[in-house]
Structure 1
Amino acid sequence: MSNPVERWNSVSKGLHWLFVILLLSVWGAVELHEFYERGDPMRGWFMQLHFSLGVGVLMLLALRLYWRARHKRPQIEGKKWQKALSSLTHGGLYLLILAMPVSGIVMRQLFGRDTEFFGLFAVPNLFAKNPDLGKQIAFLHKDVMWPALLVLVGLHIAAALWHHFIVRDNTLTRMLPQR
């Protein structure tokens, strides 16, 4: 039988916190574009940043899932229902972190627009222009998946804080950088 892992390895921790920074940046870019009028170059710059960071989320997610599959991770602490809820929340987070950028890319393609990654390359177009379908994907992206992602992130944070301050176990500290 293999030895249990007590803490997350440093790469897993780094990828977790890089995701936090990247997701906050994606959100910040789309929010900041609202401060500029249509036609203002800064509005377009922030949207391009949003799209590039979204593609970056996909690339980081691929790396994170690969790393997660190849390395041991600590056991989830808590009662059976807590472990089930934790697994469900993490699964939902991974699903939405995948679905958000994919739906954003598909939406742009359906509106006949390219999606570039910091001007280095464009995501290949797989869909013909179809603005009506694009509007439906936009609704899912902005009005269904985004609020769902916020709920799951909030639940994830609340659970970490609950474990740390109420239960007083090491769930949160296992993901923090070592002192």
Structure 2
Amino acid sequence: MIASDDFNDFAATGVNDYHQYFGTPTHDDHVLFELLIVGIFQVGLSWQAAASQLPVLRQQMAGLRVEVVAGYDDLDLERLLQAPNVMHNGRKLRAIIQDAQAIVKVQRQYGSFEAYLWAFVAQVPFHMLAPDNELPTQSPLGTRIAADLHRHDFTFVGPVVTQMFLLAAGIIQVD
């Protein structure tokens, strides 16, 4: 199991640790938020390019503390769009802020983001087969969770992003 402190020592690119942690059952809301961010940034990019943004985003976004990012406004977004080394994609940056706000709401309702997510699998990682050793980009479980995330005001969490997030968080594991 990994905890939020484990993500403080990312390599300069953020790639090595993300790769190392991918698939490890994760029960820490901060780490789950960071894994979700990689999923959001991965749309249209490689996971390496997405993970490489974590150190920059931590530096520019208050350590990616959910409760702080949830309070960001249009001025903060504009600052991020001007910040050096941040991928200047307003839709993805807005999604990070909106999803932080959604996580705060989920935490109030369920006690934690972790409790909400892991309830879908009764606290036990869901195992699925990977034909030809390929990571499945969608599953019925991922699609169901994506729909529920949308119901809780998350954005940029379609079935593929959600599936990859659940795989990264170890909620879905591939055999």
TM-score by length of 1: 0.26
Which structure is higher in helix share?
Answer: 1
TM-score by length of 2: 0.27
Q: Which has the higher contact order (CA 8 A, sep 6+)?
A: 2
